[in-house]
Structure 1
């Protein structure tokens, strides 16, 4: 991690700044990006936030959302020009440029100073300044600490605080994951002090489901849940036809993997979804079983020890068969007592 003085020097005068985050941004990705954007705008910088793809509608309440440029829905030449003209490029909540699709090569070749703020394991070495910390609960936590270390915590107002709170709340599983540290609680105390309405943010994110989404969840749990008790494993496989039948929108499958993991005795859970271009997989675990290592080794992915993502270019059926075939190799790890 670079010294904070390097960032102070970089930002001491107003600059053209771009902020981006990973494909299909979640609350931490978007919240940390918009929170940082709000802070930098207060300092006089000209800031553009660009996401590689769309994101769930239940995040659209965040301050600054209306100014976000969605690359997949925008003009390629416009985005390329913004990247080329940016003097500083912040890369938030992803550890490799492949996570931002076509934008990755644009940013790799950009002349602007690249700043990485992330909490995933094994970051790619592409940034000029790296403020990664894999022990952090969320990238939003790192953004808060960065602003504080800059000596400007007083610039965090309610709007910025709401964005950062959303990222921390969701990435800690509403503060139940082991990553929920003393520092996390101290940050939340500070955000409460400045007037962040935590219960309202929880409602906006978790209590905004459409009727179809609830019916989809019921279908997935009733008809698609597979439990392999001999491996303490549960998974749900969703086809493209399933998504179409329930008019699935971005964000509708978010959190589905946690239902599988919530079954008593389950150590390892996965949701495997046919997204047509590729099969996308979410992995979760409890205890010492590393889904980061599992995903990196077998499914071109990675993340954290207990939460990771992966992908497969095979069919949904072939991907499920591969997943099942791997379980016997890990039986000793999966059936031992959870720490």
Structure 2
């Protein structure tokens, strides 16, 4: 595996490029993908972004969104053709090909040069080139640094800068998380200098809600929030019927788990969302309590120390019951906000 400076040589001449990111992409996933897309198009490459699933409508403002191919049964053949013709495939904001579902096997079997740019733990060894840094606040930050290292900072215009800004802003929790270090602020300042309208990006992502979504939020807070103060834990359990009742769309549960984490005295928060595929989990924590270890050990997942996800193939009721048993088991660690990897 080689670093991205070696990749610069490959990108000196026009290439057929595919960019992909994880299932249900968030602002960092899509922002890093479309930021890179717009940069590579300027460099004369033929580029397509393939998302393994749909994504929230509050991300549709990013330049190039209308060109994104959403992988499905209807687009599978076209996606196969793109992958077969690709010279280079960028894999952004995920560390394992299983995170892009069925599209992952197409990528794995492709003869194209594969590039991994990511900040999640335990990367799968499938890439020819990589920039992998678990200390980076976001993937958008890593893509930005790659472009600068290539001497192409001048090619970053307002649209590209706003894609990267969105990724950094959201993956730092609006610059609140511990990963918001000096470098993050320096890069964000540079992006604003390059034209990013920080207040507008924030409004588009955080303050563009449908009436149904606001009603769902009120319902979730009043009817679906469970708090265990003795275990310093709070969680939401959302059923498919709940989602149907409020006509919920992809992205409508985004950020909900943070309301549980914001409760005074809470160390860990969870969101359980029932779907046809199983129960999706979003886990958050403060301090040294490592939810990525919990997610990996019990819920086929992973992520960062304070932000992770996973899935359960039990029913919603059974999944919640398992989680309630776990918080009793880890009660001392939750109380003291200490790491759990020692105890697993």
- Give the distance between the partners of 1:338 and 1:329, measured in 2 at CA: 13
8 Å contact from structure 2 (residues 300, 310) kept in 1: yes
The answer to whether 1:33 aligns with 2:22 is no
- Give the distance between the partners of 2:253 and 2:104, measured in 1 at CA: 25
Q: Secondary structure at the match of 2:259?
A: helix
Structure 1 residue 9: Cα displacement: 1.2
Q: Secondary structure at the match of 1:72?
A: coil
| 1:66-114 per-position Cα deviation (integer Å, ceiling 9, x unaligned) | 1000012742111111111100000000111111110011100000000
Q: Could you tell me the TM-score, scaled by structure 2's length? A: 0.97
Q: Secondary structure at the match of 2:72?
A: helix
- Give the distance between the partners of 1:337 and 1:172, measured in 2 at CA: 20
- Give the distance between the partners of 2:4 and 2:108, measured in 1 at CA: 23
Q: Secondary structure at the match of 2:123?
A: coil
8 Å contact from structure 2 (residues 286, 337) kept in 1: no
| 1:227-273 per-position Cα deviation (integer Å, ceiling 9, x unaligned) | 11111000000000000000000000000000000000000000001
Match of 1:113 in 2: 113
Match of 1:81 in 2: 81
Q: Secondary structure at the match of 2:330?
A: helix
Q: How do 1:240-251 residues align onto structure 2 when only pairs under 5 Å count?
A: 240-251=240-251
| 1:279-320 per-position Cα deviation (integer Å, ceiling 9, x unaligned) | 100000000000000000000000000000000111111111
8 Å contact from structure 2 (residues 289, 337) kept in 1: no
Match of 2:157 in 1: 157
Match of 1:198 in 2: 198
Match of 2:217 in 1: 217
Match of 2:313 in 1: 313
| 1:15-45 per-position Cα deviation (integer Å, ceiling 9, x unaligned) | 0000000111110000000000111111111
Match of 1:180 in 2: 180
Match of 1:6 in 2: 6
The answer to whether 1:138 aligns with 2:159 is no
| 1:115-134 per-position Cα deviation (integer Å, ceiling 9, x unaligned) | 00001011111111111111
- Give the distance between the partners of 2:222 and 2:276, measured in 1 at CA: 23
CA RMSD of aligned residues (A): 1.2
- Give the distance between the partners of 2:118 and 2:162, measured in 1 at CA: 19
Structure 1 residue 4: Cα displacement: 3.4
8 Å contact from structure 1 (residues 115, 130) kept in 2: yes
Match of 1:268 in 2: 268
8 Å contact from structure 1 (residues 4, 149) kept in 2: no
Q: Which runs of 5+ in 1 are unaligned?
A: none
Match of 2:289 in 1: 289
**Greater shift in the superposed pair: 92-101 or 327-336:** 327-336
- Give the distance between the partners of 2:257 and 2:317, measured in 1 at CA: 18
Match of 1:44 in 2: 44
Match of 1:124 in 2: 124
Match of 1:279 in 2: 279
8 Å contact from structure 2 (residues 271, 282) kept in 1: yes
Does the C-alpha gap of structure 1 residues 338 and 325 become closer, same or farther in structure 2, counting only changes over 3 Å?
closer
- Give the distance between the partners of 1:270 and 1:116, measured in 2 at CA: 29
8 Å contact from structure 1 (residues 118, 131) kept in 2: yes
Q: Secondary structure at the match of 1:131?
A: strand
Structure 1 residue 187: Cα displacement: 0.8
Q: Which runs of 5+ in 2 are unaligned?
A: 340-344
- Give the distance between the partners of 2:149 and 2:330, measured in 1 at CA: 43
| 1:177-233 per-position Cα deviation (integer Å, ceiling 9, x unaligned) | 000111111111111112211100100111110111011001101011001111100
Match of 1:236 in 2: 236
- Give the distance between the partners of 1:166 and 1:2, measured in 2 at CA: 28
Q: Secondary structure at the match of 1:265?
A: coil
Count matched residues.
Answer: 339
8 Å contact from structure 1 (residues 226, 235) kept in 2: yes
Structure 1 residue 337: Cα displacement: 5.5
